[in-house]
């Protein structure tokens, strides 16, 4: 499980999902490695 700040963004050109982690660091993960996105209100 990866907890993000805000909503992750999919870049269809690169196939990567970009997000900001809990510590405020910008990260990317291959979108094919993403199994599920869950929004916690």
Dihedral angle over CA of 27, 36, 4, 23, nearest 10: -60
pLDDT tens-digit readout, 19-39: 999 999 999 999 999 999 998
- The whole model's pTM is what? 0.81
Q: What is the distance of C-alpha 10 from the center of its chain? A: 8
pLDDT band at 40 (very low <50, low <70, confident <90, very high): confident
Distances (CA, A) of 30 to 7, 40, 41: 16, 22, 25
């Amino acid at each position: 499980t990866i907890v993000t700040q805000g909503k992750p963004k999919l870049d269809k050109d690169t196939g990567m999902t970009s997000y900001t982690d809990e510590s405020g660091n910008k990260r990317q993960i291959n979108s094919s490695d993403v199994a599920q996105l869950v929004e916690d209100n």
